[in-house]
Protein backbone atom coordinates (compact mmCIF):
# COMPACT_ATOMS: atom_id res chain seq x y z
CA UNK A 1 0.00 0.00 0.00
CA UNK A 2 1.10 3.53 -0.56
CA UNK A 3 -0.52 6.92 -0.41
CA UNK A 4 -4.10 7.85 0.41
CA UNK A 5 -7.24 7.14 -1.60
CA UNK A 6 -8.27 10.76 -1.47
CA UNK A 7 -6.80 14.00 -0.20
CA UNK A 8 -6.47 13.92 3.61
CA UNK A 9 -9.14 15.96 5.44
CA UNK A 10 -8.29 19.58 6.10
CA UNK A 11 -6.56 20.55 9.35
CA UNK A 12 -8.46 23.22 11.26
CA UNK A 13 -6.62 25.76 13.37
CA UNK A 14 -7.03 28.78 15.65
CA UNK A 15 -4.84 31.93 15.40
CA UNK A 16 -2.61 32.75 18.39
CA UNK A 17 -1.92 36.36 19.35
CA UNK A 18 1.77 37.16 18.91
CA UNK A 19 2.50 34.09 16.77
CA UNK A 20 2.62 33.71 13.00
CA UNK A 21 1.77 30.01 13.31
CA UNK A 22 -1.73 28.90 14.28
CA UNK A 23 -2.79 26.28 16.86
CA UNK A 24 -3.93 23.10 15.06
CA UNK A 25 -7.16 21.61 16.40
CA UNK A 26 -7.28 17.88 17.06
CA UNK A 27 -9.95 17.01 19.65
CA UNK A 28 -12.59 19.37 21.04
CA UNK A 29 -13.80 18.42 24.54
CA UNK A 30 -16.75 20.30 26.02
CA UNK A 31 -17.75 20.46 29.68
CA UNK A 32 -21.47 20.20 30.45
CA UNK A 33 -23.31 22.12 33.21
CA UNK A 34 -20.33 23.92 34.69
CA UNK A 35 -22.20 26.98 36.00
CA UNK A 36 -24.90 26.39 38.64
CA UNK A 37 -27.34 28.97 37.24
CA UNK A 38 -27.15 27.37 33.79
CA UNK A 39 -27.77 23.87 35.18
CA UNK A 40 -30.82 25.31 36.97
CA UNK A 41 -32.21 26.88 33.79
CA UNK A 42 -31.76 23.50 32.04
CA UNK A 43 -33.79 21.87 34.81
CA UNK A 44 -31.02 19.59 36.02
CA UNK A 45 -29.01 19.08 39.18
CA UNK A 46 -25.38 20.16 39.28
CA UNK A 47 -22.95 17.33 39.86
CA UNK A 48 -20.21 18.85 42.00
CA UNK A 49 -18.37 15.55 42.29
CA UNK A 50 -16.90 15.63 38.81
CA UNK A 51 -17.40 17.32 35.45
CA UNK A 52 -18.87 15.47 32.48
CA UNK A 53 -18.00 15.84 28.83
CA UNK A 54 -19.14 15.62 25.26
CA UNK A 55 -17.06 16.18 22.15
CA UNK A 56 -17.13 17.99 18.84
CA UNK A 57 -15.23 17.03 15.73
CA UNK A 58 -12.36 19.40 14.79
CA UNK A 59 -14.15 20.21 11.54
CA UNK A 60 -16.81 21.99 13.63
CA UNK A 61 -14.24 24.79 13.99
CA UNK A 62 -15.27 28.25 12.76
CA UNK A 63 -13.29 31.48 13.22
CA UNK A 64 -14.84 34.48 14.90
CA UNK A 65 -16.37 36.96 12.47
CA UNK A 66 -17.94 34.24 10.32
CA UNK A 67 -21.46 34.02 9.00
CA UNK A 68 -22.80 30.49 9.47
CA UNK A 69 -26.00 29.11 7.94
CA UNK A 70 -28.90 28.40 10.29
CA UNK A 71 -28.27 24.64 10.55
CA UNK A 72 -30.47 21.89 9.25
CA UNK A 73 -32.52 19.69 11.58
CA UNK A 74 -33.36 22.25 14.25
CA UNK A 75 -36.04 24.77 15.17
CA UNK A 76 -34.22 25.85 18.33
CA UNK A 77 -30.66 26.90 17.54
CA UNK A 78 -28.91 28.19 20.69
CA UNK A 79 -25.75 30.10 21.59
CA UNK A 80 -23.51 29.18 24.54
CA UNK A 81 -20.67 31.58 25.39
CA UNK A 82 -17.65 29.77 26.85
CA UNK A 83 -14.07 30.15 28.04
CA UNK A 84 -11.83 28.02 25.82
CA UNK A 85 -8.47 26.57 26.85
CA UNK A 86 -5.98 24.67 24.72
CA UNK A 87 -3.40 22.12 25.80
CA UNK A 88 0.30 22.83 25.18
CA UNK A 89 2.09 19.75 26.46
CA UNK A 90 1.26 16.07 26.95
CA UNK A 91 -0.34 15.25 30.32
CA UNK A 92 -1.86 12.06 31.67
CA UNK A 93 -3.30 11.67 35.19
CA UNK A 94 -1.95 15.09 36.13
CA UNK A 95 -2.68 16.80 39.45
CA UNK A 96 -4.63 20.06 39.77
CA UNK A 97 -1.32 21.67 40.78
CA UNK A 98 0.36 20.49 37.58
CA UNK A 99 -2.54 21.46 35.30
CA UNK A 100 -1.65 25.17 34.76
CA UNK A 101 1.63 24.22 33.04
CA UNK A 102 -0.30 22.08 30.56
CA UNK A 103 -2.49 24.96 29.33
CA UNK A 104 -0.93 26.85 26.43
CA UNK A 105 -3.56 29.54 25.87
CA UNK A 106 -7.11 30.72 26.43
CA UNK A 107 -9.76 32.18 24.15
CA UNK A 108 -13.42 33.00 23.76
CA UNK A 109 -15.73 30.48 22.15
CA UNK A 110 -19.29 29.63 21.22
CA UNK A 111 -20.69 26.11 21.70
CA UNK A 112 -23.53 26.41 19.18
CA UNK A 113 -26.26 23.91 19.94
CA UNK A 114 -29.32 22.38 18.27
CA UNK A 115 -31.18 22.52 21.61
CA UNK A 116 -34.27 20.65 20.48
CA UNK A 117 -32.16 17.70 19.32
CA UNK A 118 -30.03 17.79 22.47
CA UNK A 119 -33.09 17.76 24.74
CA UNK A 120 -34.81 15.01 22.72
CA UNK A 121 -31.67 12.88 23.03
CA UNK A 122 -31.42 13.63 26.73
CA UNK A 123 -35.06 12.62 27.29
CA UNK A 124 -34.43 9.27 25.58
CA UNK A 125 -31.08 8.79 27.36
CA UNK A 126 -29.29 8.86 24.02
CA UNK A 127 -25.98 10.57 23.17
CA UNK A 128 -26.00 14.30 22.41
CA UNK A 129 -24.09 14.19 19.14
CA UNK A 130 -26.85 15.48 16.85
CA UNK A 131 -27.48 18.39 19.21
CA UNK A 132 -23.87 19.33 19.80
CA UNK A 133 -21.45 17.87 17.26
CA UNK A 134 -22.39 19.36 13.91
CA UNK A 135 -20.70 21.43 11.26
CA UNK A 136 -19.66 24.99 12.18
CA UNK A 137 -20.80 24.58 15.80
CA UNK A 138 -17.51 25.52 17.53
CA UNK A 139 -16.62 29.19 17.12
CA UNK A 140 -13.25 30.42 18.37
CA UNK A 141 -11.56 33.79 18.86
CA UNK A 142 -7.79 34.13 18.50
CA UNK A 143 -5.98 32.62 21.49
CA UNK A 144 -4.04 34.49 24.20
CA UNK A 145 -1.15 32.68 25.86
CA UNK A 146 -1.99 31.75 29.45
CA UNK A 147 0.88 33.74 30.98
CA UNK A 148 -0.63 36.91 29.48
CA UNK A 149 -4.06 36.36 31.01
CA UNK A 150 -2.94 36.07 34.64
CA UNK A 151 -5.02 34.62 37.44
CA UNK A 152 -8.46 33.31 36.48
CA UNK A 153 -11.57 34.26 38.38
CA UNK A 154 -12.64 37.89 38.35
CA UNK A 155 -12.97 38.10 34.56
CA UNK A 156 -16.46 38.84 33.24
CA UNK A 157 -17.88 36.49 30.60
CA UNK A 158 -20.75 37.90 28.56
CA UNK A 159 -22.77 37.49 25.37
CA UNK A 160 -25.15 39.75 23.48
CA UNK A 161 -27.63 39.09 20.68
CA UNK A 162 -28.16 42.14 18.46
CA UNK A 163 -26.64 44.20 21.29
CA UNK A 164 -28.94 42.94 24.08
CA UNK A 165 -27.05 41.28 26.94
CA UNK A 166 -28.15 37.65 27.34
CA UNK A 167 -25.34 36.06 29.34
CA UNK A 168 -23.37 37.86 32.05
CA UNK A 169 -21.26 36.04 34.65
CA UNK A 170 -17.71 35.70 35.93
CA UNK A 171 -15.15 32.94 35.54
CA UNK A 172 -15.15 32.44 39.31
CA UNK A 173 -18.71 31.09 38.86
CA UNK A 174 -17.28 27.96 37.19
CA UNK A 175 -18.16 24.92 39.31
CA UNK A 176 -15.10 22.97 38.13
CA UNK A 177 -12.32 25.47 37.36
CA UNK A 178 -9.94 25.13 34.44
CA UNK A 179 -7.26 23.30 36.39
CA UNK A 180 -9.73 20.86 37.92
CA UNK A 181 -11.12 20.15 34.45
CA UNK A 182 -7.67 19.42 32.98
CA UNK A 183 -6.78 17.17 35.92
CA UNK A 184 -10.08 15.29 35.68
CA UNK A 185 -10.04 14.92 31.88
CA UNK A 186 -6.47 13.63 32.04
CA UNK A 187 -7.73 10.66 34.06
CA UNK A 188 -9.52 9.47 30.93
CA UNK A 189 -7.41 10.73 28.02
CA UNK A 190 -3.76 11.27 27.21
CA UNK A 191 -4.13 15.01 26.69
CA UNK A 192 -1.77 16.49 24.13
CA UNK A 193 -1.16 19.60 22.03
CA UNK A 194 -4.12 19.99 19.69
CA UNK A 195 -6.68 19.28 22.43
CA UNK A 196 -9.16 22.13 22.88
CA UNK A 197 -11.45 22.31 25.91
CA UNK A 198 -14.65 24.38 26.03
CA UNK A 199 -15.34 24.92 29.73
CA UNK A 200 -19.13 25.33 29.82
CA UNK A 201 -21.61 28.18 29.56
CA UNK A 202 -23.19 30.51 32.14
CA UNK A 203 -26.95 31.05 32.47
CA UNK A 204 -28.93 32.90 29.84
CA UNK A 205 -28.73 30.56 26.85
CA UNK A 206 -31.33 31.13 24.17
CA UNK A 207 -32.30 30.85 20.54
CA UNK A 208 -31.11 32.86 17.54
CA UNK A 209 -32.67 33.27 14.11
CA UNK A 210 -31.39 34.09 10.61
CA UNK A 211 -30.08 37.64 10.55
CA UNK A 212 -29.13 37.74 14.24
CA UNK A 213 -25.67 38.87 15.28
CA UNK A 214 -24.01 37.32 18.35
CA UNK A 215 -21.20 39.15 20.15
CA UNK A 216 -19.41 38.11 23.31
CA UNK A 217 -16.27 38.40 25.31
CA UNK A 218 -14.21 37.56 28.35
CA UNK A 219 -12.08 40.19 30.09
CA UNK A 220 -8.47 39.95 28.89
CA UNK A 221 -9.27 37.77 25.86
CA UNK A 222 -10.19 38.50 22.28
CA UNK A 223 -13.95 38.98 21.72
CA UNK A 224 -16.09 36.84 19.50
CA UNK A 225 -18.84 37.49 16.99
CA UNK A 226 -21.00 35.35 14.75
CA UNK A 227 -23.70 36.20 12.24
CA UNK A 228 -26.52 33.76 11.59
CA UNK A 229 -27.24 33.31 7.91
CA UNK A 230 -30.22 31.87 6.07
CA UNK A 231 -31.42 28.31 6.67
CA UNK A 232 -29.22 25.85 4.82
Contacting positions for Mn ion (CB under 5 A): 80, 111, 201
Taking the least distance from each CB to Mn ion, the nearer of 15 and 51 is: 51
CB of 18 to Mn ion, least distance (A): 28
CB of 70 to Mn ion, least distance (A): 19
* Contact by Cβ (8 Å): 198, 51: no
Q: Rounded to whole angstroms, how far apart are CA atoms 79 and 126?
A: 22
Q: Rounded to whole angstroms, how far apart are CA atoms 21 and 13?
A: 9
Taking the least distance from each CB to Mn ion, the nearer of 79 and 104 is: 79
CB of 38 to Mn ion, least distance (A): 8
Taking the least distance from each CB to Mn ion, the nearer of 94 and 226 is: 226
Q: Rounded to whole angstroms, how far apart are CA atoms 74 and 4?
A: 35
CB of 4 to Mn ion, least distance (A): 34
- Indicate the residue whose CB is closest to Mn ion: 111
Taking the least distance from each CB to Mn ion, the nearer of 31 and 94 is: 31
Helices (H) and strands (E) in the chain, counts: 5, 18
Burial per residue of 16-34, b for 16 or more beta-carbon CB atoms within 10 angstroms, e otherwise: beeeeeebebebbbbbbbb
How many of the other CB atoms lie within 10 Å of CB of 43?
Answer: 8
CB of 88 to Mn ion, least distance (A): 22
Taking the least distance from each CB to Mn ion, the nearer of 118 and 186 is: 118
Backbone angles phi, psi at 138, to 5 degrees: -125, 105
CB of 201 to Mn ion, least distance (A): 5
Taking the least distance from each CB to Mn ion, the nearer of 22 and 37 is: 37
Q: Rounded to whole angstroms, how far apart are CA atoms 214 and 224?
A: 8
CB of 53 to Mn ion, least distance (A): 10
Taking the least distance from each CB to Mn ion, the nearer of 32 and 88 is: 32
Q: Rounded to whole angstroms, how far apart are CA atoms 125 and 87?
A: 31
Closest CA to 14 of 162, 220, 195: 195
Amino acid sequence: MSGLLFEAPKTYSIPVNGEDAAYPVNRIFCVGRNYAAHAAEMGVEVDREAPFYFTKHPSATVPTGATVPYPTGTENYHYEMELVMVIGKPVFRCSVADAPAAIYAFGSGLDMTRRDLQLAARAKQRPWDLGKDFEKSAVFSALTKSAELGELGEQRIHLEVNGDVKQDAHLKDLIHNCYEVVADLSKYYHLAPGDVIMTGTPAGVGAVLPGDKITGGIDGLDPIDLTIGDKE
